[in-house]
Amino acid sequence: MEHLDEISIEELQDALDNVEKKKPTERLLAAIAYKNGVAQDELAEWHGVHQKTIYNWLKRLDTNESLEHAVSNTYRSGRNQKLSESQQQEFEETVHDPPKEVGIDAPAWTPALVRQFLEETYGVEYSLPSCRRLLKEAGLSYQKPRCSAAEADEDEQEEFHDDLKKSSGRWMPP
């Protein structure tokens, strides 16, 4: 066997008694079966995963740390933020004011406008979905424009239609 030469079935069974979550249990059961002669491709079929996954599970156990820890998932913090905390706070304060306050000729913040603003101001690039998330995290909510009454002043109607052309939807503070 190319894996688990240093680990006995008894050690694996003891570790199995000490884990509670599904994934670590599944990984230890696969290791026990492997030590009992079941091939990796058959284990992959049993567990509904790729053979490479079984290989990775077994390789995790070739370590100096405890078996319980080796089969458990470690905390992953995710990708680092592109904006610092102070930049994030400054951005959130900025989007609570109309874009005109920072010299942008637009009636309201849109994900595309936020994307452009972040790139020009902080030199970072965000996708449109991430810009939507940033607006939501800043406490803004998406609001569709509503039609105004036909009796409205003609200048107001024209202004409304101009705003509508600039933005089909807006992110506004609640």
State pLDDT tens for residues 22-63.
999 999 999 999 999 999 999 999 999 999 999 998 988 888
Domain end marker among 43, 71, 99: 71
Report the mean per-residue pLDDT for the chain.
85
Handedness of CA 69, 73, 74, 75 (dihedral sign): negative
Quote the pLDDT of residue 172: 62
Which domain, by its residues, includes 129? 85-172
24 shares a domain with 61: yes
In terms of domains, do 37 and 99 share one? Answer: no
Domain boundary among 18, 37, 71: 71
Do 49 and 124 fall into the same domain? no
Helix axes 22-35, 51-60, angle to 10 degrees: 90
Q: Are residues 97 and 53 in the same domain?
A: no
Backbone angles phi, psi at 171, to 5 degrees: -105, 120
Q: How confident is the model over 120-137, as pLDDT tens digits? A: 999 999 999 999 999 999
Do 104 and 159 have their domain in common?
yes
**150-164 confidence digits (pLDDT tens):** 666 777 777 777 766
Tokens at 13, concatenated: 């069974």
H or E stretch covering 30: helix 22-35
- Residues contacting 8, CB < 8 A, separation 6+: 35
Same domain, 54 and 91: no
Q: How many domains does the chain have?
A: 2
Helix, strand, coil tally for the chain in percent (to 5): 55, 5, 40
